[in-house]
């Protein structure tokens, strides 16, 4: 399987350090992280399109675990062909789809998190 997991935690310490009015930051971080994961999933599905591995793109899914002060999001290809496509095997060279999806959307995600932080009252 090929996949990526994101975990944003430590939010409880952040909440303890800031006033109650700033709790919205955690909500914003969760929302932006989920949006980024869905964008990565769509891009990975698009890049994984293949006539030789037709079920691969449909096997890419997003799962989430929500915590009081954080979120964990996994974008993963359930198909065993995901690993072969991403890293190559035998005569089949790598044709990455997960890493390019991450690289495409990571700057947007980082920017959205910085904007969420900037929106918080000091």
Kindly list the domain boundaries of the chain, sorted by start residue.
Answer: 2-116
Cα–Cα distance between 37 and 27 in angstroms, integer? 15
What whole-number percentage of the chain has pLDDT above 70? 83
Q: Residues 45-76: pLDDT tens digits? A: 999 998 888 899 999 999 999 887 788 999 99
């Amino acid at each position: 399987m090929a996949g990526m997991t994101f975990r944003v935690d430590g939010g409880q310490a952040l909440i303890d350090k800031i006033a109650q009015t700033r709790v919205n930051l955690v909500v914003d971080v969760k929302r932006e992280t989920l949006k980024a994961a869905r964008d990565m999933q769509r891009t990975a599905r698009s890049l994984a399109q293949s006539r030789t591995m037709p079920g691969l793109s449909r096997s890419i899914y997003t799962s989430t675990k929500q915590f009081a002060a954080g979120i964990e999001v996994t974008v993963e290809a359930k198909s065993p062909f995901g690993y072969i496509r991403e890293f190559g095997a035998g005569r089949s060279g790598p044709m990455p789809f997960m890493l390019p999806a991450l690289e495409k959307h990571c700057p947007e995600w980082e920017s959205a998190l910085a904007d969420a932080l900037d929106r918080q009252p000091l």
